[in-house]
Structure 1
Amino acid sequence: MATSSSPYSAMSPDDRLLAACSGDDGPLVLRDISTGRDLPRRWPRALDQAFCTAQTATFTPDGRALAVPVEGGIRTWDMRTGEERPEADLPGAPEPSLDFSDDGTTAVALGNQEVVLWRVADPGTPLLRHPIGEGTAREVRLDTEAGVIRVRTSARVVRTLGIADVLTDRHRQRPLAGARFSPDGRSLATAERRGGTTVVRLRDAHDGTLLRSLPGRSCEGCPDPVLTFSPDGGTLAHTTGTERGTTVHQWSVRHGRAKARHTVASWVEDLVLPGGGGPPVIAGTKPGRQENDNRKVEVWRIDGRTDGHIDGRTDGRTDGRTDGRTDKRLLSRGSLGSPVLAPDGRALLTLDGRMTDLRTGRSTPALRGEDSLITGAFSPDRRFLAVCDDNGRLTLWNGPGTRLLAVLSAGGPGEHRPASALSFSADGRHLAASTPDGSVRVWETGTPGLPGAEYPGADGAVLALGFAGDELLIATAHGAVRGLPLSGERAAGIACRRAGGGLTRGQWRTYLPNTPYRPTC
C-alpha cells in the first residue's frame, strides 16, 4: 500500500483513484479511494520507474491513463490495460510541466524553452510550438474554452497565448506542399499531395476555407507546383509537371473559370504574371537530371492561344481539340543557379549572383559579397531585393542588386537557419521573413537598420507570408491561416481584450508604485 514516505502521489480528477509509490524505489500502487483497496496490477515496470522517480505526474481528465513527464518528453500509460500510448517528444526538456484540456483531447507542456500544444491522439504532430525565454516559465495551464494557454513566469506574472485559431478543425493532418498569398491578401493558393499526384486549390486567405479545386495534376516524382498571382490578385497561375515538361494554367479568381493553358518543355522553377494582363513569364530548366555544371536556366514568355479550347468552362478541361497555337518566346538561356524573376517579368536574378535584363539579354554581376544564396524576392515595384544564404544571413539590396542597404539577419556558420519564406507587402513598405522554427520577423524597408518586429512560431515551418492591410498573414503546412496585427494600436486592443481590460488604480499602485497612473485600455 502507499505510504507517507512516497516521493509523489497523484489523484484522479474524480477523486476515485490515488497513484503512489510504496517506497522510494516503488513499486507503483493504484488505490480505489471508495473501497480502500489496491487495484490489480496491469502496467509494466517501466511505469514504476518513471512515476517513482518523477517530480510530478497527472491523470488524464477521464481518469483512465497516467501521464508522466520524463526527460525529453511525456510518457502515458492506460491504467486499465497497461499499454503505453504514443509518446510526446520534447527534446531537451528535463521534466516538462503538463496540462490537459477538460475533454482530454488536447495537451500542453513546457518543453525546452518552448510551449508545445498537441492533440492527444497525435502527439507526433504538434499544433503549436511557441518559444519562451530561458528559465522564465514555471507552470502551464490550458483553457480551450477561452482559447488561451496561460504560462506562469513568476509569482505575480502570467502570460497568455491566444490559440483559438490553432484549435479549429482546419488544422491539417496532411501537410501542404506549397502555398502563396495574393498581393491583395484576399486569396491563398495551396499545393496538396493526393496519392501520387499534387493538386492545386484556391482558398480564402483569412481563414483557409476551400473555395475551389483547380484543373491539372502533377505527376508522381515531378516538381511541386509553382504558384503566383497577378499584381491585382485577379488571376492565379500555377504549374503541373509531366515527365516531358510543364503545363502552365491561368485561372480567373474573380470569374471562377479557366483562362488559358500552355505547355512548355521545361521544368518551371519560377513564374510571374506581369501587370496589365501581360503574358506569363517562366524560368526553369530542361526536364530530367542534369549535372550542375551543365544546368542552364531558360526564360520564356508565353503568349498566344491556349493549347486546347477552354470555351469558358469552369472545370478547366478542354473540348478535345488541340488546334490552338501557343507562342513561346525564349528570352534568355544561360546562367547557373536557381532563378528569381522580377514581378514585371523584365529581369532575372539567378542565385549565383547574376542579374539579366530580359529585354536586352545583357547579364551583369549582382549582389557582390554574397555567397551560397538559397532564396530571394523582389518587392512588387522592384525598388528592393531581399536574399538569404544557407547560414541564415538575410540582406536587403536595391532592386538592381548593386547596393547593399542593410544586413537584416547576420546568421553564421553552423546556425543553418535560412528563411523558409520571404515576402514584401504590396506597397513595398514591409518585408517579412520566416525561419524553420516558424517564427517570423517583419522590417520596414524605409528604416531597415532598425530591428524587425518578431512573431513567434505556432505550427512549424512557414510556407507562405502575405499582407492584408495592417495584418500579417501566415500559412504553414498543417495549420489554418494565422492573421497577426502589424500596427501597435491593433496589438494593444487584442491584449486589452485578452486581459479583460487595463490595470485598475489599485493594481497600478501594486505593480507601478513610482509611476503616475494612466489608463492602459
Structure 2
Amino acid sequence: MAAVLALGLATAVFLTTRGGPAPADDAGPPRRALFLGTLTGHKGPVSALAFSPDGRVLASGGADGTVRLWDTATGKQKALVEHDQPVLQLAYSNDGRTLVGISGESEFVGGPLWLADPATGRVRRTLPGTYVTNVAFHPRNGSFAVADETGIVFTYDAEDGSMKDQIPVAGPTTSVDGLRYSPDGAWLGVSAGALVRLWDPRTVTSAPRTELTAPEFTKIGKRFTTFSASPVVLFSPDSKTVITEGAMDGCRLWTTSGDVRTSACSGAGVAGAALAPDGRSLVTFGTGRRTVEVWNANAGRKTFTYRGHLGDVTAVAVSPGGDLVASGGADRIVRLWQAPGLGQGAAPQPTEGG
C-alpha cells in the first residue's frame, strides 16, 4: 500500500490492480487495467469530479473554467472543453448519455446549467439561470434536479433539457445547499440552511415526510440539524440510511424516519464526501486539509488515509465499481488512488447512540 501512496508524490505510472489478471482458480473476472497517479493540466484548483457510469472516464472541472475527460485505464486526457466561468458541479446521467455541469463565479454565486456530450464534453444545450447545488439524478425516470439560490428546486429531462417541474422547498432567503435522490427513487433529500428534509418526489409540493433534527438541539427545544449549509446528503444503496455532515461530529447516519442517529467520522470536520458502492465505506475530505480519509460508516472508524496533495483537497469521487478514488486539490492536480476494499457489500446500518 505504501507503494500506491508514493505515486502521489512522483511521476505516475501505469499499473494493474492486484498485479494483473486474476489467477485461474479465482472465480471472479480479471480486474481491468487502472491508471494510478497524477493527472495534470488544470491551471487552477480542481472544483468538481465525476466518474462515468462504467467507470472508464473521469470528468474533472476546474476554477480555470475547463472540463477535462480522462481515460481511467491510461491516464490520458481524452477531451478538453473551456467555459467562461469556473466549473462548480459535474454529474453523469445514469445511462451515461449526458454530462451535466454548472458554471459560476462561486458555490455561493452560481451560474448557468449545461448539458454536454459525454464523449467530448462539448455543450449541446445551455439552460439560463443561476444554479448553485449538486446535480441530483433520479434513478429511474431520466430526470435530474438542481436548485437555485432562492430555494427553488427545478427538475429537467436529462435528454433534451426540458423543464419538468419547479418546487419551492426553502424560503426565498435560504439557498439549497445539497440535493440527492435515494437509489430507489422514493426520497429526495434537500439540505437548506440548517435543516435536512426528506421529500417524496411524487408529492414534493406538500410537506416533507421527514425532518432530520439533531438530538443535542432537541433537548433544548430548538429545531436545528447537525450542520449548517451542508452539501453532504447521501443515501445508502438500500435507501434506508441517510448520511449528512455533522456540526458536533464529522458525519451522522439517520434512518429515513429520522429517529435513529449515529455518529461517524468522529472529530473530523467534513467539507465533502462520497459513499463507496459497498455502502459501508465513506470517503471524505475536510476544509484546510491535504488528505482524503476513508471511514467505516458503521463503526465511525477511520480505515485509510490518502496523502500526496500539495494543497487542500477540494473534491472527491469514488468510481462506480469501487476500485478507484479520485481526488482534486488546490494544487491543480487530480489524483487517482487504488481503493482497497471498496467493493460491493452491505449498506451502513445506523445504531442507537452518537
Which TM-score applies when normalising by structure 1? Answer: 0.38
Task: List per-residue Cα deviations over 1:455-503 (Å, max 9, x = no partner).
Answer: 533775424534320234546588687543313799xxxxxxxxxxxxx
Is the aligned partner of 1:468 residue 2:345?
Answer: no
Aligned residues of 2:167 and 2:205 also touching (Cα < 8 A): no
Mapping of residues 62-77 of structure 1, within 5 Å: none
Query: 2: distance between equivalents of 1:282 and 1:403?
Result: 18
Letter in 1 for 2:245: V
Partner residue in 1 for 2:306: 454
Counterpart CA distance in 2 for 1:204 and 1:475 is 23
How many residue pairs get aligned? The number is 266
Q: 1:347 to 1:188 in 2, by over 3 A?
A: farther
User: Which residue in 1 is equivalent to 2:211?
Assistant: 348
Residue 177 in 1 paired to residue 33 in 2? Answer: no
Q: Pick from 226, 231, 237: which aligns with 2:145?
A: 237
- Report deviation, 1:431: 0.7
User: For the structure 1 residues 169 and 212, does the alpha-carbon distance in structure 2 shift closer, same or farther, using more than 3 Å as the test?
Assistant: closer
| Alignment partner of 2:154 out of 245, 248, 265 | 248
Distance across 1 between alignment mates of 2:247 and 2:121:
34
Aligned residue identity for 1:191: I
Percent identity over paired residues: 15
**Match in the other structure for 2:206:** 329
Looking at structure 1, the residues matched to 120 and 271 of structure 2 have their Cα atoms a distance apart, in angstroms, of 20
1:263/1:448 CA distance change after superposition, 3 Å: closer
Q: Which runs of 5+ in 2 are unaligned?
A: 1-37, 47-73, 344-354
CA contact under 8 A between 2:138 and 2:181: conserved in structure 1? yes
1:188-228: CA deviations, max 9, x gaps?
643202798601234688x993464452311xxxx724421
SS at match of 1:432: strand
Task: Tell me, in whole angstroms, the C-alpha distance in 2 between the residues paired with 1:372 and 1:266.
Answer: 15
Residue 212 of structure 2 aligns with an amino acid whose one-letter code is L
Shift of 1:421: 0.6
Counterpart for residue 193 of structure 1: 104
Q: 2:166 aligns with which of 259, 262, 265?
A: 262
* Aligned twin of 1:419: 270
| CA RMSD in angstroms, aligned pairs only | 5.4
What SS class does the counterpart of residue 207 from structure 2 fall into?
strand
In the aligned structure 2, how far is the partner of 1:389 from the partner of 1:204? Answer: 39
Task: Identify the residue that residue 486 of structure 1 maps to in structure 2.
Answer: 339
- CA deviation map 1:333-364 (0-9, x unaligned): xxxxxxxxxxxxx4332568679xxxxxxx99
TM-score, structure 2 as length reference: 0.52
8 Å Cα contact 2:90-2:135 kept in structure 1: yes
> Which amino acid letter does the alignment assign opposite residue 114 of structure 2?
R
Residue 235 of structure 1, CA deviation:
3.0
Q: Residues 388 and 184 of structure 1: is their aligned pair in 2 closer, same or farther, counting only changes over 3 Å? A: farther
Give, in whole Å, the separation in 1 of the partners of 2:280 and 2:145.
25
Alignment of 1:139-150 (within 5 A): none
Asked whether the 8 Å contact 2:318–2:324 carries over to 1, the reply is yes
**2-side partners of 1:489 and 1:226: how far apart?**
23
Structure of greater Rg: 1
Asked which structure has the greater RCO (Cα within 8 Å, sep 6+), the reply is 2
SS at match of 1:428: coil
Residues 146 and 155 of structure 2 are in contact (CA less than 8 Å); yes or no, is this contact kept in structure 1?
A: yes
Unaligned runs of 5+ in 1: 1-114, 128-162, 286-294, 305-326, 332-345, 356-362, 412-417, 491-521
Matched, 1:227 2:131: no
**Which residue of structure 2 lines up, in the alignment, with residue 77 of structure 1?**
none
Letter in 2 for 1:258: S
| 1:258 to partner: Cα distance | 2.8
Corresponding letter in the other structure for 1:201: W
Aligned residue number for residue 106 of structure 1: none
